[in-house]
Amino acid sequence: MEEEEMCSHARAALAKRKALEEIDIHSVDASSDNEFGHEAIKDHFADAYNNVADKSSSRGNAKIASILMRKLGYTDEEMKIIGSDANLMQGTGNPHIAANIQEGEIVIDLGSGFGVDAFVAADKVGKSGKIIGIDISRSEVDISQKRSKDRGLEDIVTFREGDIEDIPLRDSYADCVMSNGGFCLVPDKIKAFSEIFRVLKPGGRMSICCTTNRVELPKNVDWPVCMNVFMKLNEIEPMLKKIGFTDINIDLSNSRMDLWDLEALDVQEEISNLDPKEREKYTKEAYEKRKEDSSVHSGSERFQHLEEFDMNELCARVVITGRKNHEKIKTNPSLNQSVRSNIPNLRHPILDNNLDKNYFSEEEWLKAITKSKVVFFGERHNNSAIIDSQMRVLLEISDFAKYRGLRGDGSGNVSLVMEQFITPDQQDELENFISTGIPSEKMKDMGGFEWEKYRKLCNLAYELGNVKIYAGFPSRTKAVSTVVREGYEKGVLQAIEEGSLRTSQDYILGTEEHYNVFESMISGRNLNSSDNPTDDYRRIFPAQILKDCVISRIVSDRILLGDSVMCLTGHGHTDFLFGIPERVIQFHPQKFDFCTISCAGKDENNVENLDGQRIADMILEIN
């Protein structure tokens, strides 16, 4: 993408933001095709729930919340799992009864909030299953992700910022999609249900708890934006049938709107069993104050006139269930994809804007990633914090690759080329994994790399749907060892025989400048020293070059096919643009944009002591 075009995207994004800020969201007709209006509604709710997240530590009492949740049908076993998290409940019902989640299943929780229902589902799927929470609130995602780690569930439950109208997961991925409350606030329900249909496997099911409008809301009344985006009850079933759902049911058995009204729920006996100090919190006045403090409408006098309406006549809480039948029904692609009219938001900051160390700002980092056809990520092996950052980069590349594909200047796909897998030995295993999501034992045999560390990165590649993994390096016991023992000519012949190189022209000799860098990395000699490098590593240097040549050919081939590429190797293969970048440039005659991320930080102690925190000491080179 040219610089001028990048600037036009930035200008468009600023113009869009200004337009959104000027919209009165309470006047937006959610049933219309007003794109700006829908975006303004989403921004409103994201901001509102970000503010709720800030108050999460001071929300209500878990004891009384547990009583109310039992009224919704949560079992004693489920309440044990929820525990003190009950006070974080933001839902409108109980999706678990209809969801009937089974061991080993993949479940998506839309509008996952603080993860209350996701953690209940995690107990049902067990270690062989997976839960993915999607929420529009960045703050709630961050809190939930930390809580998943605190519960020891990070390998089963993950949370991701995302839009229910554009779910960031592959087609036919989930056994079950559930939602408890978050679905109420989606402006375009047709698009959202179509997305659920897309991500469900054939035979998969949904259980959606949300609030609906029983009747047409009077036009001459000022209604809260949430009520304006509720679905009309009588339109749900026809809409779901048109999308392709079967076995549709709309459960109205627990539809009253006074869900958290203590008097309506008749829980005074349970309250009387609390100690006196706790009972004081559940007087009528205390209840009304607490409800106001935790509401996304808190502090507003605008809607006091609604007290004259009976909300049970206007609205109903429902549980919507349906199934994607076993025949693969093609949905309208326009409902499944949204053209990226501006650069995607960076989901997680990776680099500190630390100007005294000349690091790139977040804005510059994102610009480099989205502009680049290839991202060379020079890592430190088996480091969990670095792998987390690789996942964040992959999310951005995947998003922008789709945008490129829709724009017509790329395939829309991403090639994740990893030195951690051996070519060609493990390529079939990787292709099977991308098709099924199930890793073979041969795939998990990563030599000196730890599968448990890289598993989550591979799972993300599978989930995104437009990513394919490629094995990057030749076997150390074959061609590489031949180079060291018998010289690079025989090693190249061995590489051709085993299939990791096509021709001898694919091997490009290393330069003296490259050897200087290579030797200094191993020996610890100051790279800028006037001392010449020793010859101690001349014998193994051609083996390093062979690895660079093999992976460079793979990267170049993927560029030619129109893919965006993310290349993962140790940073010694990419730093200073030696090794892989220089060879890809030679293999690929046409100019292409790329950038390198290096984990060789200026403060080596800081990098070595990373402890699961975000990486703030990575150097970015933009080319």
Mapping DSSP onto H, E and C, the string for 301-315 reads CCCHHHHHCCHHHHE
pLDDT at 63 over 70: no
**CA angle (330 as vertex; 327, 332 as ends), nearest 5:** 155
Pairing of strands 200-213, 315-324: antiparallel
The CATH superfamily of 52-257+309-326 is: Vaccinia Virus protein VP39 (3.40.50.150)
The pLDDT-based confidence of 321 (bands split at 50, 70, 90) is very high
* Cα 305 from Cα 307, distance rounded (Å): 5
The mean per-residue pLDDT over the stretch 195-204 comes to: 93
pLDDT at 243 over 90: yes
pLDDT at 440 over 90: yes
Q: Please list the residues that pair with 318 across neighbouring strands.
A: 210
CA 514 to chain centre: 37
pLDDT value of position 616: 35
For residue 289, the one-letter residue type is K
pLDDT value of position 413: 94
* Cα 576 from Cα 528, distance rounded (Å): 13
The mean per-residue pLDDT over the stretch 359-372 comes to: 71
Indicate the average pLDDT of the chain.
77
Rounded to the nearest 10°, the torsion over CA 244, 133, 349, 341 is 10
* Cα 155 from Cα 466, distance rounded (Å): 22
CATH code of the domain made up of 355-443+457-471+548-622: 3.40.50.11550
Angle at which helix 3-21 crosses helix 35-54, to 10 degrees, equals: 80
Outline which parts of the chain fall under CATH 3.40.50.150. Answer: 52-257+309-326
Spatial CB neighbours of 371, under 8 Å, sequence gap ≥ 6: 1, 6, 593, 595
The pLDDT-based confidence of 175 (bands split at 50, 70, 90) is very high
pLDDT value of position 432: 94
pLDDT value of position 548: 95
- Give the rounded percent of residues in the chain with a pLDDT score beyond 70: 72
* Cα 537 from Cα 507, distance rounded (Å): 19
The pLDDT-based confidence of 351 (bands split at 50, 70, 90) is very low
* Residue (of 14, 37, 13, 18) closest to 27 by Cα position: 37
- Count, residues in the chain: 623
The mean per-residue pLDDT over the stretch 29-46 comes to: 48
- Residue 130 burial (CB < 10 Å; 0-12/13-18/19+)? buried
C-alpha gyration radius of the chain: 27
Residue 195: C-alpha distances to residues 201, 263, 389, 405 (Å):
12, 39, 27, 19
pLDDT digits (tens, 9 = 90+) for 251-273: 998 877 765 555 545 555 666 66
pLDDT at 28 over 50: no
What the block records as the tokens of 345 is 């938001």
pLDDT at 495 over 80: yes
* Cα 41 from Cα 24, distance rounded (Å): 9
* Cα 511 from Cα 524, distance rounded (Å): 20
The pLDDT-based confidence of 370 (bands split at 50, 70, 90) is confident
If residue 196 lies in a helix (H) or strand (E), which one and from where to where? Answer: helix 189-199
Least confident of 80-84, 108-112, 220-224, 234-238: 220-224
pLDDT value of position 266: 56
Widest distance between CA atoms in the chain: 90
Least confident of 139-153, 254-268, 425-439, 514-528: 254-268
* Cα 117 from Cα 86, distance rounded (Å): 10
State if pTM tops 0.85. Answer: no
* Cα 423 from Cα 489, distance rounded (Å): 19
Q: Which residue has the higher pLDDT, 93 or 330?
A: 93
Contact 121, 236 (CB under 8 A): no
pLDDT value of position 299: 43
Outline which parts of the chain fall under CATH 3.40.50.11550. Answer: 355-443+457-471+548-622
The pLDDT-based confidence of 567 (bands split at 50, 70, 90) is very high
For residue 58, the one-letter residue type is S
